[in-house]
């Protein structure tokens, strides 16, 4: 049984939403034994200064990330295609955050 005890808790990524209507934003990571503990730790580590109204935690192992080697193939091709941006539209004053 003692062989099953992990001496280091798994890593979790923490996302906090500052207020209603805004997105959850990645704020950092922490270690916890499970999701429930991760949520409590996130509350204690990342919302001490009144930063949040909602928290997500995700196991870091469950995040699939693009690698630096993929940079050119992934992101290079969009660099010269300005017509994909809404540059040619007039944005109404009442539409913020764009």
Residues near other proteins, by CB under 8 A:
1, 5, 9, 18-22, 25, 30-33, 36-37, 40-41, 43-45, 47-52, 96-97
User: Is 4 or 62 the residue whose CB approaches other proteins more closely?
Assistant: 4
H or E element that contains 75: helix 71-75
Q: Minimum distance from CB of 20 to other proteins (Å)?
A: 5
Burial 33-67 (b: 16+ CB within 10 A, else e): eeeeebbebbeeebbeeeebeebebeeeeeeeeee
User: Is 43 or 59 the residue whose CB approaches other proteins more closely?
Assistant: 43
């Amino acid at each position: 049984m003692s062989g099953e005890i992990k001496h280091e808790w798994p890593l979790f990524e923490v996302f906090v939403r500052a207020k209603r209507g805004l997105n959850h934003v990645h704020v950092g990571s922490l270690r916890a034994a499970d999701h429930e503990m991760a949520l409590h730790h996130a509350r204690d580590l990342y919302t001490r200064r009144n930063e949040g109204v909602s928290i997500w935690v995700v196991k870091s192992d469950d995040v699939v990330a693009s690698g630096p080697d993929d940079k050119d193939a992934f992101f290079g091709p969009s660099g010269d295609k300005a017509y994909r941006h809404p540059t040619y539209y007039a944005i109404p004053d009442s539409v913020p955050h764009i």
